[in-house]
Amino acid sequence: MDSIKKKLRGKSDFEQRFNNDDFLFRSYVLSIMEKHKDGVPLSPQEITDLCMFTTKEYHTSLPICRDELFQRDFRDFYYNRSSKASAAEIKLMEEYYKDWHEVVYKNNLGATVLSKVCKETRDVIAELKSSETTNSDEHIFETILFSRYVYILIAKIFSGQHTHIEIEHDDKIIHIDASTLSHCIIKHFAPDLKKFGVKKSYIKDQIHPDQLHEHLELIIKQAINSGALIAGQLDFKFQYLNVPYQIYFRLKGASSRERGQYQVMRLNTFYPIENSHELAKLDSLSLRKINDNLYIYSNQ
């Protein structure tokens, strides 16, 4: 039990979730094992816990744990490494790559999370192949693996019937959806995996990929509620956690049983401003403070 408890994110997490009670923790793990055995759908958190807090012999036999195990292996291989990868670890990544490479090039159509992630992945690979860089095969390998990591992350966020985050602004409806997140995360995160000639600006450690949708929703709502945006304005520049960013929207069609066919403004891209020419333009703008974390650039 002690070895399993160590998989929690520190002592405080164990205290908060289980009141530092071994019996409560064990009962919880057994309960989600029983739910899964009985075919009861598990929440994303329960799936993570099922695959993390049960024995290796148990969870490696569960199809539901395949994505969780991949995420763990990916993080260990690229981010939690203190020594050179072993032959077995490299072989495991190669097997993951082979399986997911086939998925990326088969999913060309549709509006699913998978199809959107695969499209963004193919776009990055096309840029890689056209750029003048060495080790392009290595970078493609890393990009394919990263895209599976991103797919799992976004699929958890937009699970079930939850397909987007909706925000109203004046007479407009704003959507943050799988297209938003797949584009922003695949193209503007993980610079350590993209040491190649494709010129992108990368979102740093202040924002983690699995929290991006929460940050974007917060930023947009605070900007709207502050009154800092002029009527009808959507695209805007701002400073968040001391970093200047640009946010863009794009008009797209949508439909629902309640509204029928209608138009929404999808958050299309979000990235830090690093280009020297664009940074120079910010000098002519004023900054309006919304709160300690958020400032809006304005011509006024």
How far from chain centre, in Å, is Cα 197?
A: 23
Q: What single DSSP character describes residue 65?
A: G
Residue ranges of the domains in the chain?
A: 1-61, 62-298
User: For 247-265, what is the mean pLDDT?
Assistant: 88
State pLDDT tens for residues 22-38.
888 888 889 999 999 99
Neighbour-count burial of 242, counting CB atoms closer than 10 A to its CB (0-12 exposed, 13-18 middle, 19+ buried): exposed
Neighbour-count burial of 35, counting CB atoms closer than 10 A to its CB (0-12 exposed, 13-18 middle, 19+ buried): middle
Report the distance separating Cα 282 and Cα 261, nearest Å. Answer: 38
Distances (CA, A) of 44 to 30, 53, 142, 149: 17, 14, 25, 15
Q: What is the pLDDT of residue 193?
A: 60
Q: What is the pLDDT of residue 10?
A: 40
Contact 223, 290 (CB under 8 A): yes
Length of the chain: 300
The identity of residue 172, as a single letter, is K
Q: What is the pLDDT of residue 268?
A: 93
Q: What is the pLDDT of residue 199?
A: 65
pTM of the entire predicted model: 0.81
Q: What is the pLDDT of residue 13?
A: 58
Helix (H) or strand (E) segment spanning residue 48: helix 44-53
Residue among 111, 108, 193 at smallest CA distance from 150: 193
Contact 49, 64 (CB under 8 A): no
In a 3-state reduction of DSSP, which class is residue 297? strand
User: For 286-296, what is the mean pLDDT?
Assistant: 94
Averaged pLDDT score across all residues of the chain: 85
Contact 97, 145 (CB under 8 A): yes
Q: What is the pLDDT of residue 7?
A: 44
* Cα-based torsion angle of the residue sequence 186, 188, 194, 196 in order, rounded to the nearest 10 degrees: 120
Dihedral pair phi/psi, residue 6, rounded to 5°: -65, -20
- Residue 254 pairs in a beta bridge with 262
User: For 96-111, what is the mean pLDDT?
Assistant: 86
Given a cut of 90, is residue 59 above it in pLDDT? no
SS3 content of the chain, % helix, strand, coil (to 5): 50, 20, 30
Q: What is the pLDDT of residue 42?
A: 87
Report the distance separating Cα 283 and Cα 205, nearest Å. Answer: 25
